[in-house]
Amino acid sequence: MRRRILAALAVVAAVAGSITPAYAAEQRVAAAVFPSPVITEDFPDPDVIQVNGTWYAYSTNNGRGHVPAASAPSPNGPWTIRGDAMPGGPSAGWAQAGRTWAPDVHPNPDGSFTLTYTAWHRTSGRQCIGVATAGSPLGPFQPVGSQPLICPLNLGGAIDANTFVAADGTRYLLWKNDGNAIGANSTLWLTRTTNNGTALTGGNTALLSSSSVIEAPDLVQRGSQFVLFYSGGGYTDCNYLTSYATAPTLSGPWTVAYRPLMTTATFDNRVCGPGGADFTNDKVFLHGWVNGSRHLYVADLGWANDYPVVRGSRVRTEAERGTLNNARVRTGAAGASGGAVAAYIDFADSWVQTSVYAPRAGSYTLWVAYANGTGSTGSHGVVVNGNSQGSVSYPVTGWDNWRQSSVGVTLTEGWNTIRLTKGNSYAEVDYLELQ
């Protein structure tokens, strides 16, 4: 989250690939709702919890202290900076102040709170994970023990702790060995803990590994699967991103998403380097760069068949995988994202239909990647859930010369059906992106 710039994420090659082809946007309708900046000062690597109706947020150390804390009546604020949740700093037994990163605060069964944090290991100079407790979410947190909780110096140290409690009540700690610091692989690990998270009770289970940056793990259990979120890329610029992997069990096998969940590109440059994310049931908190500082943002989160969807971040659906009526799939389409497109949408009863998921009801932007090789501007009618919502126009591009056009749509929360119908002239459709 907060170390040197390294090579792009390479857990799976597709994770670090280009997110959106360099299609010029022919038209823009400002309907998308992007993440809202809620703390407009340095507040990186956020961790957020809710206690008795109040929301609390914690960040990596900055001028506000070792563990800056804030509170708000709702996720969207207003947020108030409340000071340093660990004013005495990390454990004097093994750590020194100055690099206290990525705090994680979690409530305990007895009403107390446990803070896990990353700090500077005095004798080795590496980063290791410590633990502290308090009776209030705002602290003051007092370090527990004279030694770090996790400190594999032979693996580069440990960073980015995060608590996960399974549906059966078993408590675990997610963390990363900082292999990037010593030119080695990094792995996201899962370790069982006591019910207050102050001691380890089990061995380490490896989840994902990478020869480049993979960090800031967060784990969610959704229905039939586990969803492991993580950040990748260099944290110091707009290349930082958030992706995820899924598995039927905690022991895997883990399948990495074919496209990252949040990037600067999927947010149309509205958030620079969206990473360090913390996920709740229906919100995601993340940081993004603004004038040299990382501000706190919040976005709506939805679950499409237990897969995450973040409002404002483009989600792609290949047109050729939809339902076609009196139209055909054309394969071997040069330059198309999937090598195939929806084509021959040429007749009054021709259409292509697909389903998209909206985390909340409201306004969205529908982007359509198209090619128009006729001599005049084309169009398709846009029908949402059986109701007309206007049309999307396609200026002339030439065949297999793909561009994007957009139209604002209003969606209900959950699944929506979008149908593109025959309009003026002719065009082929590569994919649709909902934003």
The full set of domain ranges for the chain reads 35-311, 316-434
Distance CA(67)–CA(123), nearest Å, equals 22
Pick the CATH number of 35-311 from 3.40.50.620, 2.115.10.20, 3.60.10.10, 3.30.420.480: 2.115.10.20
Instruction: Report pLDDT digits (tens) over 154-200.
Output: 999 999 999 999 999 999 999 999 999 999 999 999 999 999 999 99
Instruction: Report pLDDT digits (tens) over 232-281.
Output: 999 999 999 999 999 999 999 999 999 999 999 999 999 999 999 999 99
The answer, yes or no, to whether residue 126 has pLDDT greater than 60, is: yes
Phi, psi torsion values for 180, nearest 5 degrees: -60, -30
Which residue is associated with the tokens 């259990």? 221
* Residue 3: predicted pLDDT: 30
Residues 6+ apart with CB under 8 A from 274: 35, 240, 241, 242, 262, 263, 264, 267, 286, 287, 288, 297, 313
Model confidence band, residue 7 (pLDDT cutoffs 50, 70, 90): very low
Distances (CA, A) of 154 to 315, 317, 381: 40, 44, 61
The answer, yes or no, to whether residue 139 has pLDDT greater than 90, is: yes
Which residue is associated with the tokens 């899924």? 246
Closest CA relative to residue 392, chosen from 433, 358, 331, 355: 433
CATH 2.60.120.260 is right for the domain spanning 316-434: yes
Specify the pTM.
0.92
Report the pLDDT averaged over residues 390-417. Answer: 98
The answer, yes or no, to whether residue 25 has pLDDT greater than 50, is: no
The answer, yes or no, to whether residue 132 has pLDDT greater than 60, is: yes
Task: Give catalytic residues, as residue numbers.
Answer: 45, 215
Residues 6+ apart with CB under 8 A from 305: none
Tell me how crowded residue 213 is: count the other CB atoms within 10 A of its CB: 31
